[in-house]
Amino acid sequence: MFTTKVPAELRLPPVLDPSIATPPATPRLALLLNPFYPKDPHASFGKHVLTPSLALTSVAGATPAEWEVRYWDENLLHGRPPWDPFPQVVGITVHLTFADRAFELARWYRRRGAIVILGGLHVLSCPDECAPHADALAIGDGVQCWPEILRDVEQGKLQAVYRGSYRRPYRDDPPPRRDLLPRDSFLTTTSLIATRGCHNRCGFCYLSTEGLHMPYLVRDVEQIVAEFAADDQPYAVFVDNNLGSRPDYLRRLCQALRPIEKIWSAAVSIDVTDDPSLVREMALAGCTGVFVGFESLTNENIEAAGKQSPRTEDYARRVGLLHDHGIQVNGSFVLGFDHDRPDVFARTAEWIEANRLECATFHIMTPYPGTPLFKQIESEGRLLHKNWNLYDTAHVVFRPQQMSALQLEEGYAWCYRTLFSHRSIWRRRPQHLPAVPPYLAMSYLYKKSNRFWHWLIRRRMTAAAWRPLVEITRRRHLRFRKRLETTTENRELAPMIVSAGV
């Protein structure tokens, strides 16, 4: 699947030199590691540096004051993971697609005397596979486990397994340690999470993993606004699974965000458009983009996945409502459902262009271990293998029902080639003329600049490349917002004028 067009540094992790002589471990020094993963040759190489994951910075926020904590993301191409000073404790997040790299890092640090803690979704779904590579496993909410783990390290009574519940009040979590992040390496370091969980429980989603009990919880809106303001960035990304699961909460959040005059984007389900007044509140609060999991344009696929969603024939109207409020749409589509035939690729691309989605993300249907989909596919004898490195939604790992594995893989690649083409980018340009130049600039930087992303990431110039465009977008949105406010005021005054007989 990978081609020579992908630079080696984006395909292969840094070499861990076995000959390095490390100093003795520094007491009460913890290192949190995000392992390297190979980049999809068909998608944008820049998408993993748009905003940092909150998993490790949130864990860092729970670190006791007497401990020093450091952060390292191998995907930022800053070289080998740090070893001088040598940490006493190393925490590594594990996802199934980079589990092998996580285990390699764990071996390297353990051989030199570090205590290694593994956490993350793969630890939850496959603990027996992860246990031999760690001194302890953190299963569930790592923010809750981390302080207890460090206390036990100090007292020399480390347990093999720690379990954190996602049921405690979410507002009690400490704020993430964004100060640990290299600000010049990301579009924005303000990744926010206001809610946890989702009202959907789709059979293919990691949230449906057996043993993962994550009720929908929210943080106080004042906490979110304070975090946004404190990071001093003009743009934030909400990394919630679905920021709109509770419309009443989203409305209160929008009303609290409105005065700070910043912009943001978030993942929502398309049913957020059930109430046009809520979409208006989002726009007035600075929402300039949403990531929408459409998943499929076939109702039978949506129903089979167990997703609560409007009928697919109503998607276009709902996208239009978002566009009318100045909100761009990045549509996410899963390819390879049981009702998908070989024409799914062309039909999906045509719909995206016809509805002028500013961006689209494609995923090959992937049965994650522990999910209902995995159990179904495995019971039907349709799994091709269990090489977790290829369970990255860019490779076919099962036999589709209505097409061959090769057709699915080639169709996935065709969708990205088509939507990243000059023709498609131009056809999907906004209808509002002033929005066209910044749309084209961002589209070409994100989608057509893969040859430059390696250079930008290595030289820590992601922020320098993106932020001028972000500021232009923020100012343009503020002007749009004023027009929207005027429209709102006129609509509110109209009944009063009529009733007064004017």
The residues spanned by each domain of the chain are 8-164, 190-435
- Report the pLDDT value the prediction gives residue 497, as an integer from 0 to 100: 30
Angle made by CA atoms 226, 232, 235, in degrees to the nearest 5: 90
Pairwise CA distance, residues 79 & 446, whole Å: 24
Q: Does residue 208 register a pLDDT over 80? A: no
Q: Distance between CA atoms of 478 and 466, rounded to whole angstroms?
A: 19
Q: Quick one: residue 40, left, alpha or beta (phi over 0 = left, psi -120 to 50 = alpha)?
A: beta
Residue-wise DSSP of 135-194: SEEEEE-HHHHHHHHHHHHHHT---SEEEE-S-S-GGGSPPP-GGGS-GGGSS-S-EE--
- Yes or no: is domain 8-164 CATH 3.40.50.2300? yes
Q: Which residue, among 460, 485, 487, has the nearest Cα to 49 in the 3D structure?
A: 460
Closest C-alpha among 176, 114, 115 to residue 142: 176
Helix (H) or strand (E) holding 449: none
Amino acid at 14: P
Give the pLDDT confidence of 297-339 residue by residue, as tens digits: 999 999 988 888 899 999 999 999 999 999 999 999 999 999 9
Fold (topology level) of 190-435: TIM Barrel (3.20.20)
pLDDT in tens, 136-194: 999 988 999 999 999 999 999 999 999 987 777 777 888 899 999 999 999 999 999 99
Q: What is the pLDDT of residues 47-104, one digit of tens each?
A: 889 999 888 999 999 999 999 999 999 999 999 999 999 999 999 999 989 999 999 9
Would you state the pLDDT for residue 209?
59
**Dist. CA 77–CA 458, nearest whole Å:** 6
